[in-house]
């Protein structure tokens, strides 16, 4: 299993003491992991240390894992520098867009020790004072290995996600970026567009604000500079979805007040869409089969499982790990297209895995 | 003060035992108010009675207040029927759009006993089983009198809002409809458009869904038939706001990835918009002055206060009542344009009110 009980083999260095970096430190400290912190602004480090996120980084200490938690616009350089500076360390990052960073790193020395990561957690607030050891609890943490990623590097980043309480979900960088355009970046734009209209509210209009408005506009209060960066980095995927949104919006504007069929179709599509969102416990939608596989707590087991699944000709739609830290065996849940679950169980069983549906 | 301690003078009849009607009954029952329930579907009444929302309506009982909580498409007829059937009763409704209903009622006999109402509370769930006595706690409840409304009718509907724990906000029907287009109907459409895109999610895209997606799409799970009705009834006001949204969306699509100034402007407008939303305790935005006025617990006092404010040449932007039920004096908060607060305090003091800022 990937959640090796001796994770990590040495100190974890978190570069960047903002909301995410400080929260990673605080969550790892709950497992007594040795966490070191560094930030361009020493005040942020001091705050993060005071929140219990770790200790200030000492230049002569060698980290075994480096977590780059800096703004996306500088993350590529910081990752490349870390790979060179610490040639034994595994390096990951937490930025919201993965393909561009992946491409900038893949030709760098040590690229096989880098694995992209993206915790689907955050807050409309930012900075170390908004951090929480529980920020990642039960939240998806995308992990984006490539064909050349070292198994040990993948294991370490999956372990990191598990140790902070997240659910690691393994996918390639391009899939990740299309997915977040849909589930994160476009919702952010829609929330912003809704909230922007409020600036022209007359008189006491906003006195009627209810919880629906607060919910739909909460994330519009997020840091603009960060989102400018994220949206710019993922522009093609975001634009593709927004163009479909615009087509629907045009249909709604045209249909309002006289074509209930069109309006009803859009409203029903919205209802179907919400029903597809996995619940807090990550139920799979109906169109997928889920195969459960026991995975021993040994380095490289997860990579071997992914390899054996691929060799069976089965495409992994979703892979989650459920693992009590320190237990010798964990459970992987592999979601595959409807109808191929049994095929995968047979193939994995033939290769010695304990697999069932 | 309008929250007379002997409210109501007789039984309250709630017509329609859905989410809102049943919740009104449950909240009034906590004050031992005699509540009677009727619904086109007797099963709903049975469920509402079992939830503690009141007792089934008996044909020969005369209500003092009728709360029409039926779908908007039939609300006008039900209100008009109620005004004729119970010529002594005050009649209100809870539908989301007020002008059209107001116009359909104003020529009916007894129109002076009708006051429109709209609690800004709801749920993406519907029906009596989703009801709660706390549904309206601290929520705005718009009350929309006209120039010919009886003071006693306005008092009774304000009292109703106060008794269920809501904050009554008095405004005219046209202002209300423009306001809800902005703070409720357009956010609903935006949530729907965001959620509708999820129906085309590939593979494991939705596995990355985080709380931001859940918040922005929660209300898209609401009843489509109800929203078709609401959007259709308020089509011109909703369309006007959606056209501004579309203009912003076009700017975003065009700017993505190359014009950070335009994109940054939209993101900042979104941040400013969220900052304008009053908090849970209804703080006023900076551009308004708030005048506090003590109001005695006597029928007609609120109408007299509104009249005296109008006579002073001051336009009420927002009027809220803060009142512990049963106390002899309540506090009205009148929000007016910045700079005219002192004028209003002087004018009201001269007319014998205890007013201060």
Closest CA to A90 of A141, A151, A179: A151
CA distance B212 to A138: 14
Strands A12-15 and B329-337 turn out to be unpaired
Check B275 against A221: CB less than 8 A apart.
Answer: yes
C-alpha torsion B97→B98→B103→B108, nearest 10 = 110
Indicate the average pLDDT of chain B: 88
A310 alpha carbon, distance to own chain's centre: 23
3-state secondary structure of A91: strand
Q: Which of B217, B276, B285 sits opposite A274 (nearest CB)?
A: B217
- What is each CA distance from A64 to A12, A106, A142, A160, A345, in whole angstroms? 6, 20, 21, 12, 36
Interface check A117 vs B, CB under 8 A:
no
Å between B192 CA and nearest CA of chain A: 4
Interface check A251 vs B, CB under 8 A:
no
Closest CA to A322 of A144, A157, A170, A162: A162
CA distance A301 to A25: 26
- B37 phi/psi in degrees, rounded to 5: -125, 140
CB A102 within 8 A of CB A76: no
Interface confidence, given as ipTM, is 0.75
Strand order in the sheet with A288-296: A55-56, A35-38, A12-15, A65-68, A90-93, A114-119, A140-144, A167-170, A318-322, A329-337, A288-296, A355-356
pLDDT number for residue B137 = 85
Interface check B188 vs A, CB under 8 A:
yes
Average pLDDT over residues A188-203: 95
DSSP code per residue over A61-85: ---SEEEE-S-HHHHHHHHHHHHHH
3-state secondary structure of B240: helix
Å between B306 CA and nearest CA of chain A: 16
Site of tokens 């931001």: B212
Partners of residue A271 in chain B, C-beta under 8 Å:
195, 220-222, 224
What tokens appear for B311 in the block?
């006579």
pLDDT tens-digit profile of B87-121?
999 999 999 999 999 999 988 899 999 999 999 88
Give yes or no for a cis peptide into A8 (omega within 30° of 0): yes
Q: Which of B197, B241, B318 sits opposite A182 (nearest CB)?
A: B197
pLDDT tens-digit profile of B278-335?
864 344 455 678 888 888 766 677 777 877 887 888 877 667 766 554 455 677 778 7
Interface check B59 vs A, CB under 8 A:
no
Q: Which of B207, B211, B270 sits opposite A278 (nearest CB)?
A: B207
Check B242 against A220: CB less than 8 A apart.
Answer: no
Interface check B174 vs A, CB under 8 A:
no
Å between A226 CA and nearest CA of chain B: 10
Interface check B74 vs A, CB under 8 A:
no
Residue B269's closest chain A neighbor by CA?
A196
pLDDT at residue A4 greater than cutoff 80: no
Q: Which of B118, B227, B253 sits opposite A246 (nearest CB)?
A: B253
What tokens appear for A206 in the block?
């906003």
pLDDT tens-digit profile of A35-74?
999 999 999 999 999 999 999 999 889 999 999 999 888 9
Q: Which of B184, B192, B215 sits opposite A270 (nearest CB)?
A: B192
Partners of residue B243 in chain A, C-beta under 8 Å:
253
Å between A30 CA and nearest CA of chain B: 23
Task: Compute how many other C-beta atoms are within 10 angstroms of the C-beta atom of residue B351.
Answer: 15
CA distance A305 to B54: 60
pLDDT number for residue A292 = 83
Percentage of the residues of chain B whose pLDDT score is greater than 70: 90
What tokens appear for A309 in the block?
């699944």
Average pLDDT over residues A164-178: 92
CA distance B278 to B318: 12
Residue A199's closest chain B neighbor by CA?
B273
Interface mutation vs chain A, best among B138, B250, B271, most A CBs within 10 Å: B271
Q: Could you give all domains of chain A from N- to C-terminal order, each with its CATH number?
A: 12-171 (3.40.50.720), 177-276 (1.10.3660.10), 288-356 (3.30.70.260)
CA distance A344 to A82: 39
Ranking A114-123, B47-56, B176-185 by mean pLDDT, the lowest is A114-123
Q: Which of B179, B236, B246 sits opposite A205 (nearest CB)?
A: B179
- A51 phi/psi in degrees, rounded to 5: -85, 0
CA angle, residues A95, A99, A100, in degrees to nearest 5: 80
Average pLDDT over residues B169-177: 93
Interface check A227 vs B, CB under 8 A:
yes
Interface check B176 vs A, CB under 8 A:
yes
Higher pLDDT, B250 or B278: B250
Partners of residue B270 in chain A, C-beta under 8 Å:
191-196, 217, 220-221
Residues recorded for chain B = 357
Q: Which of A190, A220, A260 sits opposite B271 (nearest CB)?
A: A220
Partners of residue A273 in chain B, C-beta under 8 Å:
194-199, 217, 220
pLDDT at residue A167 greater than cutoff 90: no
Strand order in the sheet with B55-56: B55-56, B35-38, B12-15, B65-68, B90-93, B114-119, B140-144, B167-170
pLDDT tens-digit profile of A112-160?
999 999 998 877 678 898 898 988 988 889 999 998 999 999 999 999 9
Average pLDDT over residues A202-216: 87
Q: Which of A182, A194, A276 sits opposite B186 (nearest CB)?
A: A194
What tokens appear for B93 in the block?
């409704």
Residues 198-217 of B with CB under 8 A from A: 198-217
Check B213 against A176: CB less than 8 A apart.
Answer: no
pLDDT at residue A170 greater than cutoff 80: yes
Partners of residue B123 in chain A, C-beta under 8 Å:
none
Helices of type H across chain A: 19-29, 42-50, 72-85, 99-106, 151-163, 173-180, 186-197, 211-217, 224-233, 235-255, 260-276, 301-311, 341-350
């Amino acid at each position: 299993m990937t959640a090796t009980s001796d994770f990590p083999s040495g100190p974890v260095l978190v570069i960047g003491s903002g909301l995410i970096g400080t929260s990673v430190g605080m969550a790892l400290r709950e497992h007594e992991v040795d966490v070191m912190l560094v930030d361009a602004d020493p005040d942020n480090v001091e705050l993060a240390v005071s929140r219990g996120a770790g200790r200030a980084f000492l230049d002569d200490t060698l980290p075994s894992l480096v977590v780059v938690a800096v703004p996306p616009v500088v993350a590529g350089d910081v990752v490349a520098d870390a790979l060179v500076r610490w040639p034994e360390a595994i390096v990951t990052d937490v930025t919201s867009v993965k393909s561009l960073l992946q491409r900038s790193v893949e030709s760098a020395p040590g690229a096989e020790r880098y694995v992209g990561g993206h915790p689907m957690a955050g807050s409309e607030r930012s900075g170390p004072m908004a951090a929480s050891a529980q920020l990642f609890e039960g939240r998806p943490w995308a992990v984006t290995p490539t064909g050349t990623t070292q198994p040990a590097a993948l294991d370490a980043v999956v372990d990191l996600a598990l140790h902070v309480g997240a659910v690691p979900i393994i996918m390639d960088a391009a899939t990740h970026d299309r997915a977040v355009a849909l589930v994160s970046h476009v919702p952010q734009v829609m929330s912003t567009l809704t909230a922007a209209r409020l600036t022209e509210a007359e008189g006491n209009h906003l006195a009627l604000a209810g919880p629906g408005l607060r919910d739909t506009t909460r994330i519009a209060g997020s840091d603009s500079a960060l989102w400018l960066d994220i949206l710019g980095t993922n522009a093609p995927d975001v634009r593709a979805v927004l163009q479909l949104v615009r087509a629907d919006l045009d249909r709604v504007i045209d249909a309002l007040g006289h074509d209930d069929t069109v309006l009803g179709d859009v409203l029903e599509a919205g209802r179907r869409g919400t029903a597809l969102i996995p619940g807090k416990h990550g139920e799979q939608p109906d169109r997928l089969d889920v195969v459960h596989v026991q995975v021993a707590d040994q380095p490289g087991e997860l990579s071997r499982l992914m390899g054996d699944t691929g060799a069976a000709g089965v495409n992994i739609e979703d892979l989650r790990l459920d693992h009590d830290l320190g237990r010798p065996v964990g459970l992987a849940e592999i979601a595959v297209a409807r109808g191929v679950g049994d095929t995968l169980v047979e193939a994995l069983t033939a290769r010695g895995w304990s697999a069932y549906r």
